[in-house]
């Protein structure tokens, strides 16, 4: 077992354990050091991933773990998102007696999402999803004295219990059908044309399990609740890393499926329902955080577009990665502004923000316009690539559905922007201080910066390939 192949993951695992132990001995006033430690661990892990970027794609640990560009890109997005969430958390969590332990949970959640993205075995995939889910439940309900947070965590848990159980049943059916759990063995077994009915049921059940982590219909209802009621740094983290891990996992799994199974049409239908439901539900929201949660649901539908043509169009994976990068940066920027404003929730609380705090309002506007796909912001290039690959793959109707949904989303994004610029008497509300302000500034700048560096981002995504078993 080449342990060094898992150096980034081992650094996160050992660091998480060390933080949990250290938090038991540090006085509460020094628990912010755990945030510094978490950020240092994540930065070091990201450096290791970058240093290995040009290594040949391969499977390791007896074929259960993928070392390829797709997993590497996902790790960079997941680690970067966790760095932002950790930087936003010290002042938000300052009065919580379990402040230090929180960063250990963040790192365990990161590890679960990384396992989803890198899993090349269905059993490994289950472990990653369960680790991501268990830590997500705890993080969502971290404010245990606040009933909305407990409600969000309970809904997350109940939906997750059902979806994860269905996933396990699907994996068991697949194992009974093929006698294999590793993706290399599954590729050979599925090519032998096994029973199509059992294969269809197994695929649908596994798809539901992955859709839960992706925040896609029909198991998406946890995402707006968590976005609204979980601690704001947790909402920023969970709505990104679980989506990134699940999207790469689904893309990897879909490439194994035989051509006689109509799986692209199933995922295309899921994409249509997800983006439509998310956008229509967001139209009626008067709570900014819940609106961002429904927006995250709709963004899952766009991500599924690339998976519909994965393996059939060369640029499908690159389109998915660029889109996920744009979504991650914009979502983190929007939630960073929420944290900086000490968790303002209702839209009316943001009335006149453009005059009261122009830079904060500018970051929110940049994030919303990036979600919408306005050039030259990074979200534009992700959507442009998505539309081009689905049209090339023969799903022009799906691109039309996505364009219509983009027009629908314009209404609620513009409603938020209009609220920001409407006049209001300055109330001089307090903010969360310079760490959150700096984080918000950096993530807001990255929305424009990555858009201006779009060629570099696209080239990086194009160099990231998924390992294909022979």
For every residue of 49-99, DSSP letters joined together read: HHHTTTSPPEEETTTTEEESHHHHHHHHHHHHHHHHHHHHHHHHTTT-TTH
What pLDDT sits at residue 381? 95
Q: Collapsing DSSP states into helix, strand and coil, what is residue 287?
A: strand
Indicate if the pLDDT at residue 70 is higher than 60.
yes
- How far apart CA 135 and CA 330 sit, in angstroms, is 24
- Taken as a whole, the chain contains a residue count of 470
Residues 204-247 pLDDT 10s: 999 999 999 999 999 999 999 999 999 999 999 999 999 999 99
- Rounded Cα distance between 81 and 239, Å, is 10
Distance CA 164, CA 236 (A): 23
Mean pLDDT of 112-124: 95
Write down the mean pLDDT value for the chain.
Answer: 92
**Cα–Cα distance between 275 and 268 in angstroms, integer?**
11
Q: Return the pLDDT at 95.
A: 86
* Residue 353 to residue 257: CA distance in whole angstroms: 50
Residue 426 has pLDDT above 60, yes or no: no
Say what the pLDDT of residue 161 is: 95
The tens digit of pLDDT for each residue in 270-313 reads 999 999 999 999 999 999 999 999 999 999 999 999 999 998 89
Each residue of 1-14: pLDDT tens digit?
A: 688 889 999 999 99
Q: What does the pLDDT read at residue 160?
A: 94
User: Cα angle vertex 73, ends 72, 74, to 5°?
Assistant: 90
pLDDT of residue 469: 67
**pLDDT at res. 57:** 85
Question: Residue 370: is its pLDDT beyond 90?
Answer: yes
Do residues 133 and 112 touch, judged by C-beta distance below 8 A?
yes
Grouping H, G, I as helix, E, B as strand and the rest as coil, residue 261 is coil
266, exposed or middle or buried, with CB in 10 Å at 0-12, 13-18, 19+? middle
SS (H, E, C) 192-256: CCCCHHHHHHHHHHHHHHHHHHHCCCCCCCHHHHHHHHCCHHHHHHHHHHHHHHHHHHHHHHHCC
Please give the share of the chain, as a percent, with pLDDT higher than 70.
Answer: 98
Q: How would residue 427 be classed by pLDDT, with cut points 50, 70 and 90?
A: low
Residue with tokens 């995922």: 267
Contact in structure between 79 and 49 (CB atoms under 8 Å): yes
Query: Distance (Å, rounded) from C-alpha 41 to C-alpha 15?
Result: 7
pLDDT digits (tens, 9 = 90+) for 307-354: 999 988 989 999 999 999 999 999 999 999 999 998 778 888 888 888
Could you report the per-residue pLDDT of 142-192, keeping only the tens digit for each? 988 888 899 999 999 999 999 999 999 999 999 998 888 989 899 888 888
pLDDT at res. 470 = 60
Q: pLDDT value at position 280?
A: 95
> What's residue 116's pLDDT?
96
Radius of gyration over every alpha carbon of the chain, rounded to an integer in angstroms: 21
Contact 235, 291 (CB under 8 A): no
Of the two residues 195 and 428, the one the predictor is more confident about is 195
**φ, ψ dihedrals at 17, nearest 5°:** -65, -40
Residue 304, classed as helix, strand or coil, is helix
Handedness of CA 20, 26, 27, 33 (dihedral sign): negative
pLDDT of res. 4: 87
Comparing C-alpha atoms, which of 188, 192, 78, 52 is closest to residue 60? 52
Cis bond upstream, residue 218 (ω within 30): yes
Q: What is the mean pLDDT of residues 18-43?
A: 93
pTM of the model: 0.95
Cis preceding linkage at 376, omega within 30: yes
Residue-wise burial string across 233-265, b where 16 or more C-beta atoms lie within 10 A, e elsewhere: bbbbbbbbbbbbbbbbbbbbbbbbbeeeeebbe
Please give the pLDDT value at position 425: 53
Identify the pLDDT of residue 98. 86
pLDDT for position 462: 92
pLDDT band at 202 (very low <50, low <70, confident <90, very high): very high
Q: What is the pLDDT of residue 428?
A: 56
Across the range 22-37, mean pLDDT stands at 91
pLDDT of residue 117: 95
pLDDT tens, position by position, 72-106: 999 999 999 999 999 999 989 988 888 889 999 99
Domain boundaries, the chain: 3-462
For residue 354, what pLDDT is reported?
A: 86
């Amino acid at each position: 077992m080449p342990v060094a192949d898992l150096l980034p993951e081992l650094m996160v695992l050992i660091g998480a354990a060390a933080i949990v132990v250290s938090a038991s001995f540090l006085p509460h006033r020094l628990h912010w050091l755990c945030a510094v430690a978490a950020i240092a661990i994540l930065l070091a892990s990201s450096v290791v991933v970058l240093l290995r970027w040009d290594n040949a794609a391969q499977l390791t640990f007896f074929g259960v773990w993928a070392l390829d560009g797709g997993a590497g890109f996902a790790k960079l997005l997941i680690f970067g998102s966790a760095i932002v969430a950790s930087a936003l958390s010290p002042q938000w969590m300052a009065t919580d007696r379990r402040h230090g332990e929180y960063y250990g949970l963040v790192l365990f959640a990161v590890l679960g999402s990384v396992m989803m993205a890198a899993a090349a075995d269905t059993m490994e995939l289950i472990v990653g999803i369960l680790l991501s889910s268990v830590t997500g439940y705890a993080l969502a309900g971290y404010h245990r004295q606040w009933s909305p947070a407990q409600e969000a965590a309970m809904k997350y848990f109940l939906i997750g219990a059902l979806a994860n159980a269905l996933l396990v049943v699907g994996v068991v059916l697949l194992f009974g059908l093929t006698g294999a759990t590793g993706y290399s063995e599954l590729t050979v077994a599925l090519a032998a044309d096994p029973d199509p009915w059992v294969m269809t049921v197994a695929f649908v059940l596994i798809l539901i399990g992955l859709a839960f982590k992706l925040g896609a219909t029909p198991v998406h209802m946890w995402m707006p609740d968590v976005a609204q009621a979980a601690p704001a740094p947790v909402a920023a983290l969970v709505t990104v890393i679980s989506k990134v891990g699940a999207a790469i996992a689904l893309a990897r799994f879909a490439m194994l499926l035989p051509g006689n199974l109509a799986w692209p049409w199933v995922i295309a239908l899921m994409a249509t329902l997800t983006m439509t439901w998310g956008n229509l539900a967001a139209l009626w929201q008067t709570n900014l955080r819940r609106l961002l949660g429904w927006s995250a649901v709709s963004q899952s539908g766009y991500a599924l577009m690339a998976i519909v043509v994965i393996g059939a169009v060369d640029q499908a994976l690159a389109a998915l990665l660029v889109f996920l990068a744009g979504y991650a940066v914009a979502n983190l920027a929007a939630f960073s502004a929420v944290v900086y404003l000490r968790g303002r929730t209702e839209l009316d609380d943001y009335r006149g923000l453009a005059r009261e705090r122009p830079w904060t309002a500018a970051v929110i506007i940049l994030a919303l316009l990036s979600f919408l796909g306005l050039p030259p912001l990074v979200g534009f290039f992700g959507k442009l690539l998505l539309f081009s690959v689905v049209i090339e793959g023969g799903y022009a109707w799906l691109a039309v559905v996505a364009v219509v949904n983009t027009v629908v989303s314009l209404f609620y994004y513009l409603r938020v922007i209009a609220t920001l610029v409407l006049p209001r008497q300055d109330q001089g509300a307090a903010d969360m201080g310079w760490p959150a302000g700096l984080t918000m500034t950096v993530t807001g700048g990255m929305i424009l910066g990555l858009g201006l560096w779009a060629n570099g981002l696209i080239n990086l995504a194009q160099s990231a390939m998924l390992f294909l078993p022979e």
